[in-house]
Structure 1
Protein backbone atom coordinates (compact mmCIF):
# COMPACT_ATOMS: atom_id res chain seq x y z
CA UNK A 1 0.00 0.00 0.00
CA UNK A 2 1.16 3.41 -0.84
CA UNK A 3 1.13 6.46 1.31
CA UNK A 4 -2.23 8.11 1.91
CA UNK A 5 -2.23 11.53 0.40
CA UNK A 6 -4.30 14.47 1.55
CA UNK A 7 -7.04 15.60 -0.80
CA UNK A 8 -5.85 18.12 -3.28
CA UNK A 9 -7.03 21.72 -3.29
CA UNK A 10 -9.01 21.04 -6.46
CA UNK A 11 -10.79 18.13 -4.79
CA UNK A 12 -11.54 20.24 -1.73
CA UNK A 13 -12.83 23.11 -3.89
CA UNK A 14 -14.93 20.69 -5.90
CA UNK A 15 -16.46 19.23 -2.71
CA UNK A 16 -17.18 22.73 -1.32
CA UNK A 17 -18.70 23.82 -4.64
CA UNK A 18 -20.92 20.74 -4.73
CA UNK A 19 -22.03 21.40 -1.15
CA UNK A 20 -22.77 25.02 -1.93
CA UNK A 21 -24.74 23.98 -5.01
CA UNK A 22 -26.81 21.59 -2.90
CA UNK A 23 -27.52 24.33 -0.36
CA UNK A 24 -28.40 26.77 -3.15
CA UNK A 25 -30.69 24.19 -4.76
CA UNK A 26 -32.44 23.63 -1.43
CA UNK A 27 -32.90 27.40 -1.00
CA UNK A 28 -34.27 27.70 -4.53
CA UNK A 29 -36.72 24.88 -3.88
CA UNK A 30 -37.85 26.62 -0.70
CA UNK A 31 -38.21 29.93 -2.55
CA UNK A 32 -40.19 28.31 -5.38
CA UNK A 33 -42.50 26.69 -2.83
CA UNK A 34 -43.00 30.07 -1.17
CA UNK A 35 -43.75 31.65 -4.56
CA UNK A 36 -46.27 28.89 -5.31
CA UNK A 37 -47.98 29.47 -1.95
CA UNK A 38 -48.05 33.22 -2.58
CA UNK A 39 -49.53 32.66 -6.05
CA UNK A 40 -52.19 30.40 -4.56
CA UNK A 41 -52.97 33.06 -1.96
CA UNK A 42 -53.32 35.66 -4.72
CA UNK A 43 -55.72 33.37 -6.60
CA UNK A 44 -57.81 32.91 -3.45
CA UNK A 45 -57.80 36.67 -2.81
CA UNK A 46 -58.92 37.38 -6.38
CA UNK A 47 -61.68 34.78 -6.10
CA UNK A 48 -62.85 36.33 -2.84
CA UNK A 49 -62.79 39.81 -4.38
CA UNK A 50 -64.85 38.52 -7.30
CA UNK A 51 -67.33 36.97 -4.86
CA UNK A 52 -67.50 40.30 -3.00
CA UNK A 53 -68.23 42.11 -6.27
CA UNK A 54 -70.96 39.57 -7.05
CA UNK A 55 -72.40 40.16 -3.58
CA UNK A 56 -72.42 43.93 -4.13
CA UNK A 57 -74.17 43.45 -7.48
CA UNK A 58 -76.74 41.16 -5.85
CA UNK A 59 -77.35 43.72 -3.08
CA UNK A 60 -77.78 46.47 -5.68
CA UNK A 61 -80.28 44.34 -7.58
CA UNK A 62 -82.16 43.58 -4.37
CA UNK A 63 -82.23 47.29 -3.51
CA UNK A 64 -83.58 48.07 -6.98
CA UNK A 65 -86.26 45.41 -6.51
CA UNK A 66 -87.22 46.97 -3.18
CA UNK A 67 -87.51 50.39 -4.83
CA UNK A 68 -89.75 48.93 -7.54
CA UNK A 69 -91.88 47.17 -4.92
CA UNK A 70 -92.27 50.40 -2.93
CA UNK A 71 -93.21 52.29 -6.08
CA UNK A 72 -95.80 49.64 -6.94
CA UNK A 73 -97.18 49.75 -3.40
CA UNK A 74 -97.46 53.54 -3.65
CA UNK A 75 -99.28 53.17 -6.96
CA UNK A 76 -101.63 50.64 -5.35
CA UNK A 77 -102.35 53.07 -2.51
CA UNK A 78 -103.06 55.80 -5.06
CA UNK A 79 -105.43 53.42 -6.85
CA UNK A 80 -107.25 52.64 -3.60
CA UNK A 81 -107.60 56.37 -2.89
CA UNK A 82 -108.93 56.95 -6.41
CA UNK A 83 -111.48 54.14 -6.01
CA UNK A 84 -112.57 55.54 -2.63
CA UNK A 85 -113.03 58.98 -4.22
CA UNK A 86 -115.04 57.47 -7.05
CA UNK A 87 -117.23 55.63 -4.54
CA UNK A 88 -117.73 58.87 -2.63
CA UNK A 89 -118.69 60.60 -5.87
CA UNK A 90 -121.22 57.85 -6.63
CA UNK A 91 -122.65 58.22 -3.11
CA UNK A 92 -122.90 61.96 -3.67
CA UNK A 93 -124.74 61.44 -6.96
CA UNK A 94 -127.13 59.02 -5.25
CA UNK A 95 -127.70 61.51 -2.41
CA UNK A 96 -128.40 64.30 -4.89
CA UNK A 97 -130.85 62.05 -6.73
CA UNK A 98 -132.60 61.30 -3.44
CA UNK A 99 -132.85 65.02 -2.67
CA UNK A 100 -134.18 65.70 -6.15
CA UNK A 101 -136.73 62.91 -5.80
CA UNK A 102 -137.77 64.24 -2.39
CA UNK A 103 -138.16 67.77 -3.73
CA UNK A 104 -140.14 66.47 -6.67
CA UNK A 105 -142.40 64.59 -4.31
CA UNK A 106 -142.91 67.71 -2.17
CA UNK A 107 -143.58 69.89 -5.18
CA UNK A 108 -145.94 67.32 -6.71
CA UNK A 109 -148.14 67.16 -3.63
Structure 2
Protein backbone atom coordinates (compact mmCIF):
# COMPACT_ATOMS: atom_id res chain seq x y z
CA UNK A 1 0.00 0.00 0.00
CA UNK A 2 1.37 3.40 -0.95
CA UNK A 3 -1.12 5.55 0.95
CA UNK A 4 -4.55 5.23 2.43
CA UNK A 5 -7.16 7.86 3.09
CA UNK A 6 -10.77 8.60 3.87
CA UNK A 7 -12.74 10.29 1.11
CA UNK A 8 -16.01 12.20 1.31
CA UNK A 9 -17.94 15.32 0.43
CA UNK A 10 -17.71 18.53 2.45
CA UNK A 11 -18.74 22.18 2.23
CA UNK A 12 -16.33 25.10 2.28
CA UNK A 13 -17.16 28.20 4.37
CA UNK A 14 -18.14 29.88 1.06
CA UNK A 15 -20.91 27.26 0.67
CA UNK A 16 -19.18 25.51 -2.25
CA UNK A 17 -19.27 21.73 -2.19
CA UNK A 18 -15.91 19.97 -2.42
CA UNK A 19 -14.36 16.52 -2.32
CA UNK A 20 -12.38 15.90 0.86
CA UNK A 21 -9.51 13.41 1.16
CA UNK A 22 -8.03 12.86 4.65
CA UNK A 23 -4.73 11.01 5.08
CA UNK A 24 -3.69 9.93 8.59
CA UNK A 25 -0.35 11.10 9.99
CA UNK A 26 1.25 10.60 13.39
CA UNK A 27 -0.55 13.06 15.74
CA UNK A 28 -2.89 14.38 13.04
CA UNK A 29 -3.71 14.27 9.36
CA UNK A 30 -3.22 15.85 5.97
CA UNK A 31 -6.47 16.95 4.34
CA UNK A 32 -6.94 17.92 0.69
CA UNK A 33 -10.11 19.82 -0.23
CA UNK A 34 -10.81 19.87 -3.99
CA UNK A 35 -13.48 21.79 -5.88
CA UNK A 36 -15.16 19.88 -8.72
CA UNK A 37 -15.74 21.16 -12.26
CA UNK A 38 -16.49 19.64 -15.66
CA UNK A 39 -13.97 19.95 -18.51
CA UNK A 40 -14.67 20.61 -22.22
CA UNK A 41 -14.83 16.87 -23.00
CA UNK A 42 -17.02 16.02 -20.00
CA UNK A 43 -14.16 14.97 -17.73
CA UNK A 44 -14.39 15.52 -13.97
CA UNK A 45 -11.75 17.95 -12.68
CA UNK A 46 -10.93 18.14 -8.97
CA UNK A 47 -8.70 21.09 -8.08
CA UNK A 48 -7.19 22.17 -4.75
CA UNK A 49 -6.00 25.62 -5.89
CA UNK A 50 -7.22 27.84 -3.07
CA UNK A 51 -5.79 31.18 -2.00
CA UNK A 52 -6.52 31.34 1.75
CA UNK A 53 -7.54 29.35 4.82
CA UNK A 54 -11.09 28.09 4.24
CA UNK A 55 -10.62 27.67 0.47
CA UNK A 56 -10.00 24.43 -1.37
CA UNK A 57 -6.41 23.35 -0.75
CA UNK A 58 -3.99 21.34 1.30
CA UNK A 59 -4.17 21.44 5.12
CA UNK A 60 -2.24 19.89 8.00
CA UNK A 61 -3.98 19.23 11.32
CA UNK A 62 -1.62 18.25 14.15
CA UNK A 63 -1.96 17.68 17.90
CA UNK A 64 1.00 18.95 19.93
CA UNK A 65 2.49 17.45 23.12
CA UNK A 66 0.08 19.53 25.26
CA UNK A 67 -2.95 18.06 23.45
CA UNK A 68 -3.71 21.26 21.54
CA UNK A 69 -4.64 21.10 17.86
CA UNK A 70 -3.01 23.23 15.16
CA UNK A 71 -4.11 23.68 11.56
CA UNK A 72 -2.09 25.11 8.69
CA UNK A 73 -3.16 25.90 5.12
CA UNK A 74 -0.33 25.17 2.64
CA UNK A 75 -1.08 27.46 -0.32
CA UNK A 76 2.07 26.48 -2.24
CA UNK A 77 1.07 22.78 -2.53
CA UNK A 78 -1.65 21.94 -5.06
CA UNK A 79 -3.34 18.82 -6.37
CA UNK A 80 -5.27 18.56 -9.66
CA UNK A 81 -7.05 15.35 -10.64
CA UNK A 82 -8.69 14.91 -14.06
CA UNK A 83 -10.93 11.84 -14.49
CA UNK A 84 -12.42 10.76 -17.79
CA UNK A 85 -13.54 7.72 -19.74
CA UNK A 86 -13.30 6.46 -23.30
CA UNK A 87 -14.00 3.04 -24.82
CA UNK A 88 -14.88 1.45 -21.46
CA UNK A 89 -11.61 2.65 -19.90
CA UNK A 90 -11.62 5.03 -16.94
CA UNK A 91 -8.49 7.14 -16.81
CA UNK A 92 -7.17 9.76 -14.43
CA UNK A 93 -4.22 12.12 -14.37
CA UNK A 94 -3.19 13.54 -11.02
CA UNK A 95 -0.63 16.36 -10.92
CA UNK A 96 0.97 17.62 -7.73
CA UNK A 97 2.70 21.00 -7.79
CA UNK A 98 4.75 22.92 -5.23
CA UNK A 99 5.30 26.67 -5.77
CA UNK A 100 3.80 26.20 -9.27
CA UNK A 101 6.47 23.63 -10.22
CA UNK A 102 5.30 20.16 -11.23
CA UNK A 103 6.51 17.69 -8.60
CA UNK A 104 4.78 14.49 -9.63
CA UNK A 105 2.19 13.19 -12.09
CA UNK A 106 0.29 9.93 -11.62
CA UNK A 107 -1.55 8.27 -14.51
CA UNK A 108 -4.28 5.79 -13.59
CA UNK A 109 -6.24 3.49 -15.93
CA UNK A 110 -9.03 1.09 -15.04
CA UNK A 111 -10.30 -1.27 -17.68
CA UNK A 112 -12.50 -4.34 -17.73
CA UNK A 113 -10.56 -7.55 -18.33
CA UNK A 114 -12.41 -9.74 -20.80
Q: Which has the larger strand fraction?
A: 2
Q: Which has the larger radius of gyration?
A: 1
Identify the structure with bigger relative contact order (alpha carbons < 8 Å, sequence gap 6+).
2
* TM-score where L is the length of structure 1: 0.15
